[in-house]
Amino acid sequence: MTVWLAGLLPLIAGGFTPQAIEWRTLQPGVEFAQIQLVAQPSHADGILRIVRIDSTKATLVVRAASAGDGKNRTAAQWAKEFGYLAVINAGMYETDFTTHTGYLRLGGHLNSKTWVGKYKSVLTVDPKGVARIQDTGGVPQGAAKFQAVVQNLRLIAGPGKNVWGQNPRKWSEAAVAMDKQGRILLLFCRTPFSMHDFNAKLLGAGLQITHAQHVEGGPEASLSIHAAGLDLDLSGSYETGFNENDGNREQWPLPNVIAVVGK
């Protein structure tokens, strides 16, 4: 498999400084890049994979198994069965393996009615298909008009503030972000970081991120990409207190996902 490494970061004065990121077009409005976040990672390869979506040009959707046949699927299976170009977790889920831990509504289907005040981040998709992330601890203004509303735990507050203090806990990470141009970024890094350090890496990588939310950590974290000759089915592994190793090699079935419709 060809490895597309872009935006490699040289070590300078004990840290990394961003270089020009080379974006590979997967289809109109959808691009892919990779950034080496750490040169000598403790686990995995230290690479951040990024799918960047201009939702005015490409279709981003949120899917829930509870709104369909009730069958959980891996990100790879969601992509293959429904023709999606890219698939990532929509967020954490409860022990029933169905219900989103925050609020989740898709059209008239309510997967979870629970607003979690401490989450403070909401992804919305409006009637024209335009996706945005905003900071809010409750129901966003005009929520009823949106096609999809997904509440998740905030990582980065607008306009680009790391809101996590340092903590020894770390994990493989799947996240969704928004940049200054309003584009949505699907982010995946198998190498575990504390969320303070992960946020700092994102904000220093030249991605112009203004908002970001956590959608899963550890072995459940997933990202699949199948487009333009690029075939990746990525899974996380390490999570402090749960799976403290790099041994997981399989994607876990997911009840709720964010996906990009392929053309």
- Closest C-alpha to 154, from 139, 171, 175, 173: 175
Taking residues 229-246, report their average pLDDT.
98
DSSP code string of 56-116:
TTS-EEEEEGGGTT---B-HHHHHHHHTEEEEEE---B-TTSSSBSS-EEETTEEEE----
- Closest C-alpha to 126, from 146, 104, 150: 146
For residue 50, what are its two tokens?
Answer: 């990024």
How far apart CA 98 and CA 35 sit, in angstroms, is 33
Per-domain residue ranges for the chain? 11-261
User: Coil, helix or strand for 203?
Assistant: helix
Query: What's the pLDDT tens digit per position in 69-121?
Result: 999 999 999 999 999 999 999 999 999 999 999 999 999 999 999 999 999 99
The region, left, alpha or beta by phi > 0 then psi within -120 to 50, assigned to residue 206 is: left
Q: Is pTM, for the whole model, over 0.85?
A: yes
Query: What's the pLDDT tens digit per position in 139-181?
Result: 887 888 999 999 999 999 999 999 999 999 999 999 999 999 9
Place of tokens 């904000």: 203
